[in-house]
């Protein structure tokens, strides 16, 4: 069985994207697999957080909310991909990761510096794959 993730704790997917985008996909099999779409620094009320640090924390909050919606948590994360629009923010990303997501069992990680994300005010996006 497969279900799309859209908990009330995250901003609803805008209507124009509902047929082509989901916050995540949960696959129920012998193992539960979760593939999260890239999460950005936008709160449930639709407001984009100001600044890289606040956006990063909000994106992480969104990831954690989606994982919780599947009864998973950070120890279940297998892979994380970070997309950052400014190389100068990499040390800040590292500090935040150490403070929030240092679980002792590190997932596979890729960090990319990109020219832009889906909107000009977005500074970070975090994509996660988890399994239990």
pTM for the complete prediction? 0.85
What is the CATH architecture of 2-131? 2-Layer Sandwich (3.30)
User: In this predicted model, what pLDDT tens digit does every residue of 79-93 receive, in sequence order?
Assistant: 999 999 999 999 999
**Burial (0-12, 13-18, 19+ Cβ within 10 Å), 47:** exposed
User: In this predicted model, what pLDDT tens digit does every residue of 9-68 receive, in sequence order?
Assistant: 999 888 887 776 778 878 887 788 999 999 999 999 999 999 999 999 999 999 999 999
The DSSP output letter for 85 is: S
Under a CB-based contact definition with an 8 Å cutoff, are residues 131 and 94 in contact?
A: no
In this structure, is the dihedral angle defined by the CA atoms of residues 76, 36, 86 and 44, taken in order, positive or negative? negative
Residue 3 has a pLDDT of 82
């Amino acid at each position: 069985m497969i279900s799309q993730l859209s908990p009330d704790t995250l901003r609803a997917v805008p209507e124009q994207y509902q047929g082509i985008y989901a916050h995540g996909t949960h696959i129920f099999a012998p193992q539960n697999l979760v593939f999260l779409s890239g999460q950005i620094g936008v709160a449930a009320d639709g407001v984009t957080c100001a600044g890289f640090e606040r956006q990063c924390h909000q994106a992480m909050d969104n990831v954690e909310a989606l994982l919780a919606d599947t009864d998973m948590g950070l120890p279940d994360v297998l892979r994380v991909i970070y997309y950052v629009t400014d190389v100068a923010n990499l040390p800040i990303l590292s500090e935040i990761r150490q403070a929030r997501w240092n679980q002792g069992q590190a997932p596979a990680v890729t960090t990319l510096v990109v020219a832009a994300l889906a909107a000009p005010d977005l500074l970070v996006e975090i994509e996660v794959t988890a399994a239990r």
